[in-house]
Amino acid sequence: MSTVAETNIKPTPEHGTRPGASIRSRLQDALPKIVLAPSFAITVVFVYGFILWTVYLSFTNSKTFPSYAITGSRAYQRLWRWTFESDPPSSWYTSITNMGIFGFLYIFICLALGLFLAILLDQKIRGEGMLRPIYLYPMALSFIVTGVAWKWFLDPGLGLEQTLHQWGWTSFHFDWIKNKDFVIYTVVIAGVWQASGFIMAMFLAGLRGIDGEIMKAAQIDGATTFQLYRRIVIPLLRPVFLSAFIVLAHLAIKSYDLVVALTSGGPGGSAWLPSNFMYEYTFKRNEMAVGSASAVIMLMTITAIIVPYLYSELRERPR
């Protein structure tokens, strides 16, 4: 973030205002703030005010309707107890373990695949202009459409399994989407399909930004292609890794629609993520306090990742 408008070149005509200036000119001075005020007020009320409201609700005994008598941290205690209740697994236990599996695999595979494809595409490929949009178009689709498409593709009776059976590979078996222990991995597949092309584009932009001279110098020194990428290119891409990680992490925690469309929650809620847990408990199971507490936990997770990042991005850097 550059600081174009340092204090001394600030275009605000403040220095022109005298104490006795007319209301009109004072209004003129305040105009920028007046223009910004509604947006800022909306953000304060509907984002931060609502977050506090949700936090408040999580400490009440709200069921179907909000109740505003504080009854302590019962909702959190229940979630905490459920965290360790793995036999039979509670929905919350399932949701957070799924979040762990999904989050890790989704981020890791997207980064690895994105980088791999970007490096391949960067080898002076003929037809790059045609391949890039093909890798990237899933990002334009909604999670619902993605879910519908993959639900069909992964359905054992209709999709891939059936097709391979028809081609003669009758022992092929792939029913993850109907299997409560594996259904979360189908969410990973569909999620990776959707986002990895975009991560590829981020890495490709990063690769194109690297100074060719550095590469030439390394090659003259006899570095192999592999060494070149491992020792020079990938370390140079560190900022891209960070941005990509942030994008993927917050997409992963927010994922909700994909699970709904792809699995309808999976057999017995086995594909739930915390976002699905929150929605179900708040709107369907009439456990508003528990739902709110889970939303607060989601928010805290994202905050822990995003705030340090935003802070480092927005810090006024000396030029």
Contacts of another protein in 126-155 (CB under 8 A): 131, 133-146, 148-153
| Nearest CB to another protein, comparing residues 216 and 231 | 216
What amino acid is encoded at 245 in this protein?
F
Asked if 270 interacts with another protein (CB under 8 A), we say no
Asked if 53 interacts with another protein (CB under 8 A), we say yes
SS3 89: strand
Residue of 176, 179, 181 whose CA lies nearest to 89: 181
Cβ-contact 173, 159 below 8 angstroms: no
| Binder among 10, 63, 231, 238 for another protein (CB under 8 A) | 10
| 36-44, 81-89, 92-100, 169-177 -> range binding another protein (CB under 8 A) | 36-44
Shortest Cβ distance from residue 291 to another protein (Å)? 7
| 67-75, 85-93, 171-179, 310-318 -> range binding another protein (CB under 8 A) | 310-318
Cβ-contact 70, 285 below 8 angstroms: no
Asked if 243 interacts with another protein (CB under 8 A), we say yes
- Where in 192-211 is the site for another protein (CB under 8 A)? 193, 197-198, 201-202, 205, 207-208, 210
Using CB under 8 A, count the residues that bind another protein: 116
Cβ-contact 176, 188 below 8 angstroms: no
- Residue 149 makes CB contacts below 8 A (sequence gap 6+) with 141
- Where in 77-106 is the site for another protein (CB under 8 A)? none
Write out the E strands in the chain.
Answer: none
- Residue 227 makes CB contacts below 8 A (sequence gap 6+) with 218
Shortest Cβ distance from residue 220 to another protein (Å)? 8
For tokens 């005010």, the residue is 49
Asked if 5 interacts with another protein (CB under 8 A), we say yes
Q: Find how far residue 253's CA is from the centre of its chain.
A: 6
| Nearest CB to another protein, comparing residues 66 and 86 | 66
